Structure 1
């Protein structure tokens, strides 16, 4: 091992677990950071042990990630507490001593995973590290050096072992960018809609799209612009389109119960101004994604989007079901185009075809894809010969449905003479409502059955009382 490389502990937040690997590997690729795995990362455990070439590399990863909580320079790791103390006593003193000077304040932070300790128990654990040659003063708030001791008790809160499964000790390097989650939270955002994307998921999407300063990022189903906010947060110029004129102009009914009507200046631009990102806002356009809008030479760095599934937002495109329909000149000026259904198969075929044509080489498309969990298999995912699927993470919505965050990378240039065949995708909307109707009927039948049982029991008790009299 190169002596300049050190071991680091990446400690994660225990939410959106399936998205960790895709986000971190995207950040590593974006920032061109070499990394070595000390252990193969497992999907469930809240930590990874890695080797990095420098402390700066750890800072760079943490500065982008919202799945990560913090990063430690790992001084000791063991499967039991006595072994951890033995390994710490053998850790090179020269590496420790520069942080243990008399003019350097410190504190030791105790953390447990899946088990609660009282403050008294935490202090007792801190005292077991009395052999460390600490010379400075203890400072609980904003010390010069923060040492972390972590005990990991597994993932099952209903079966907590008596002793920890893993113990760690190291020097705190930095916290992650999770502060951005509260900064752009929907709770305090000026303009939101019924389908506004959660702040953390928006930031994860922007990371997986490798958004960076100077990029141009497009959301073709922009809605209330949550994904534009996340992409701009990482420095990208943002632009969006949507067929819903009322949403883009903030004419829809407010989504907040306490809000009776939209403010005069509500809209996506107001959100960008709220976060001081208006200098990265290009524009949003009312447009039908199924119709050509951009010149063929128009190139963008990334596309992040959440296409409509037909559940909370309708899947529509401009069209008419009448044959040989003609619009007269007198009606043209005030004409509002009618709309027809825009099926999921066509939406995703158009989205991948558009990405193949307009993404720069190695540019990324990051989009959500709805699935019925029992029917899911990788074979149903949309495909395009110019795009390679590099990440596929699941967010479970309920017992029956989920949505998958798909990340595609453009691996070859678009050939306008070659058109990919549209792939038929299962009709998520039809099955969603069919199953919903079925379960409602079942629940109604069960309630009726319980009422009938209750009625018969009551009648039986009444008859028994009559017989006793």
Structure 2
């Protein structure tokens, strides 16, 4: 007999809306999962699909940080009466498994607030469910959710909800990792340390898995290495900023006057218990060749400097034929010149095309000035296929794109 596909509701946090499907599609591709989409999320925070098993639902949720929870969808409608009719029909043949279990019903609303008394009244509407087990508010065997969706405008809530859902809770997404890796409690941070939610999304879009070798060539304080290590990747990074990598820059916390002696990328790895996945960080100029010709990487995730909060520099000199005396070598600090943004991305894509494995991914940020924006300005390379472009708005005039590339062929020599 074939597997019976069931309907599932994926409910997302209402943050980074433009990133949801890029993350989900990367996870689905990583695990080779096929879905049948019934209702795709646009601005609304839910996605309804058909899948062959709960194990697959849990596999997806084990990686997604944009996902709040997943339900086996028992009924959905735009009208309350229809929802009850659908639920009665569904549970007539499917509730026997859960009949004796302890349970609770949770009411969730989107863009409308109800008092606890009103929520209890909504729960009472479902007293026709033939559940004989005890009500248990903490860790019940069965958790049922009733969702009411009132649109996206918090200043206008319609009298009736636009969508109603009822289902059995299966699992939550990985939202707890956002708090775990919070910059507020992280030992070593800088002015440009990446938000943990975005870092984890980048690792998902890079499809980082256990044993993968992952590089951040503009590593800074190592936020992206933390996310990649969390998912089992072996991580390494480079950066031209010697003082940053050695924890000697000015502290970015207002309350902190001096850096602690052990404040560095490795300290963060120790803090989160992922030191065994940390290879190292190296002071290096990305514009200069460092790696062996045959060095292969599974993923590159990075946030190149834009010249706003961090300078875009490379080793160089404006002097003609400048030389260094022998006695100066030991203490010499190389001079730097401007590293043009176009050069940075040309070098980044060229490097990725050369050193990524086939199907390996490059995930990077690209700055965007809305007046000048055109798709032709998005960097390209013949060996790399652009899979996703998600926009994060920074101001009225600026934003940045999270670009996800896949290596499809070796570069021509």
Identify the TM-score tier after normalising by the shorter chain: over 0.9
User: Which residue pairs with 2:27 in the alignment?
Assistant: 27
C-alpha deviation, 1:93, in angstroms:
2.6
User: Which residue pairs with 1:111 in the alignment?
Assistant: 108
2:68 counterpart of 1:69:
yes
Cα deviation 1:244-303 (Å, max 9, x = unaligned)? 000000000111111111111110001000011010010100000000000110000000
User: Which residue pairs with 2:200 in the alignment?
Assistant: 203
Cα deviation 1:411-438 (Å, max 9, x = unaligned)? 01122x2xxxxxxxxxxxxxxxxxxxxx
User: Which residue pairs with 1:327 in the alignment?
Assistant: 324
C-alpha deviation, 1:329, in angstroms:
2.2
Q: Secondary structure at the match of 1:379?
A: helix
User: In the aligned structure 1, how far is the partner of 2:268 from the partner of 2:160?
Assistant: 49
Structure 1 or 2, whichever has the larger Rg, is 1
Residue pair 1:62, 1:68 contacting (<8 A) in 2 also:
yes
- Of 338, 359, 366 in structure 2, the residue corresponding to residue 362 of structure 1 is 359
User: In the aligned structure 2, how far is the partner of 1:249 from the partner of 1:290?
Assistant: 21
User: Which residue pairs with 1:421 in the alignment?
Assistant: none
Q: Secondary structure at the match of 1:310?
A: coil
C-alpha deviation, 1:92, in angstroms:
4.9
User: In the aligned structure 2, how far is the partner of 1:377 from the partner of 1:82?
Assistant: 49
C-alpha deviation, 1:373, in angstroms:
1.5
User: In the aligned structure 1, how far is the partner of 2:312 from the partner of 2:408?
Assistant: 29
Number of residue equivalences: 413
User: In the aligned structure 1, how far is the partner of 2:352 from the partner of 2:407?
Assistant: 8
Alpha-carbon RMSD across the aligned residues, in angstroms, is 1.1
Cα deviation 1:292-349 (Å, max 9, x = unaligned)? 0001100000000000000110000000001122222232232211000000000000
Cα deviation 1:346-393 (Å, max 9, x = unaligned)? 000000000000000000000000010122121110010000000000
Residue pair 1:301, 1:364 contacting (<8 A) in 2 also:
yes
Q: TM-score, normalised by structure 2?
A: 0.98
Bigger proportion of residues as helix: 1
Q: Secondary structure at the match of 1:340?
A: strand
Q: Secondary structure at the match of 2:98?
A: coil
User: Which residue pairs with 1:146 in the alignment?
Assistant: 143
Alignment of 1:444-459 (within 5 A): none
User: Which residue pairs with 2:5 in the alignment?
Assistant: 5
Q: Secondary structure at the match of 1:333?
A: helix
User: In the aligned structure 2, how far is the partner of 1:356 from the partner of 1:30?
Assistant: 20
User: In the aligned structure 1, how far is the partner of 2:245 from the partner of 2:37?
Assistant: 45
Cα deviation 1:138-176 (Å, max 9, x = unaligned)? 011111100000011111122211101000000000011
2:402 counterpart of 1:405:
yes
Q: TM-score, normalised by structure 1?
A: 0.87
C-alpha deviation, 1:89, in angstroms:
1.1
User: Which residue pairs with 1:442 in the alignment?
Assistant: none
2:369 counterpart of 1:372:
yes
Q: Secondary structure at the match of 1:91?
A: helix
Residue pair 2:91, 2:129 contacting (<8 A) in 1 also:
no
User: In the aligned structure 2, how far is the partner of 1:80 from the partner of 1:55?
Assistant: 28
- Of 178, 182, 186 in structure 2, the residue corresponding to residue 181 of structure 1 is 178
Residue pair 1:34, 1:53 contacting (<8 A) in 2 also:
no
Of stretches 293-302 and 90-99 in structure 1, the one that deviates more from structure 2 is 90-99
User: Which residue pairs with 1:381 in the alignment?
Assistant: 378
Q: Secondary structure at the match of 1:159?
A: coil
Q: Secondary structure at the match of 1:8?
A: strand
User: In the aligned structure 1, how far is the partner of 2:230 from the partner of 2:270?
Assistant: 12
